[in-house]
Amino acid sequence: MQRPLKFLNHKIEENALDMTYNPVENTGSVIYNLSLIKSEDTESAIKIFKDAYATGLCVSDRVIFAPSGTKIEGFTIPEGYCGICTLCSLILDSLLYQKGINVNPIGGGLVEVEKLIPRRFTAIIQYEYTTVDPITVMISQGSTSIGDVIESGSGTITGNIRECHMESESAVFEVLDDLIAAGFTGVLDVGAPNTELLGVPVNTNYQGIAMIGGTNPIAAFKETGRWAEVQSMKGLMDISNFSLISDY
């Protein structure tokens, strides 16, 4: 008997129950994305990651570049490929759930950036309506221009948005502060209560929080015409496996 497909909101909620990350102590498991690139492209990928980080287009300063043969949670990086693990921006949603905050993850899509300031979402797919990660398909489709943002400050990146009840604003900011202290740099914008954020409306008495998509640097790499395969929300892994981008 086939079971009905899981939609993204189901997956996000399941992750929230399983993730054990504690940003204050920087311990526990985090949600990660796994991308594959060709081994010979590793050096140029590292350079693009550093540029993307310097421009503020990474969710966090942690990353893993895993050469072929490396085992990542039961998956072996195939011969001729390099695996890249990045932190998933949905870690924020999991932490918000765990703190008892009323959070509704809304969806993911494309964000227009002008002179390094996020201006508006230009495309969005709501999590409740999709079984495939919106950001991953939009990257595969080639809808981003992250390279332009790195070069000139203007272009299209990927991002996602959730809303929290305004009553929990101080608790939300505690979580955001903890994350920033733990090297998370991916918060795009926090909206005022009852006010749309980057063109996306919120429910009554809710406020929006927009994050950068964790796979933006891979998308920037893919824009250069090289091969890459992105799998977002691949699973959970201990944060201690990750290194700093600057270590590569």
Q: Which residues bind other proteins (CB under 8 A)?
A: 2-5, 7, 107, 109, 112, 120-126, 128-132, 134, 136-138, 140-142, 196, 198-201
Would you say 159 or 217 has its CB closer to other proteins? Answer: 159
Q: Vertex 194, ends 115 and 17: CA angle to 5°?
A: 90
Shortest distance (Å) from residue 149 CB to other proteins? 16
Would you say 43 or 229 has its CB closer to other proteins? Answer: 229
Shortest distance (Å) from residue 238 CB to other proteins? 30
Would you say 86 or 156 has its CB closer to other proteins? Answer: 156
Running DSSP on this structure, what letter comes out for residue 214?
A: T
- Please report the sign of the dihedral spanned by the C-alpha atoms of residue 158, residue 132, residue 239, residue 43: negative
What size, in residues, is the chain? Answer: 248
Q: Which is it for strands 29-38 and 81-87: parallel, antiparallel or unpaired? A: antiparallel
Shortest distance (Å) from residue 159 CB to other proteins? 11
Shortest distance (Å) from residue 180 CB to other proteins? 27
The answer to whether 217 and 206 have CB atoms below 8 angstroms apart is no
97 CB neighbour count, 10 Å cutoff: 18
DSSP string, 92-105: HHHHHHHTT--EEE
Shortest distance (Å) from residue 96 CB to other proteins? 21
What distance in Å separates the CA atoms of residue 3 and residue 130, rounded to the nearest whole number?
16
* Nearest CA-CA partner of 234 in 15, 13, 38, 6: 15
Shortest distance (Å) from residue 240 CB to other proteins? 33
The contacts found for 76-81 with CB under 8 angstroms, 24 or more apart, are: 77/36, 78/36, 80/38, 80/39, 81/36, 81/37, 81/38, 81/39
Would you say 48 or 135 has its CB closer to other proteins? Answer: 135
* Run of H or E including 34: strand 29-38
Would you say 125 or 239 has its CB closer to other proteins? Answer: 125
Shortest distance (Å) from residue 109 CB to other proteins? 7
Would you say 98 or 140 has its CB closer to other proteins? Answer: 140
Would you say 66 or 228 has its CB closer to other proteins? Answer: 228
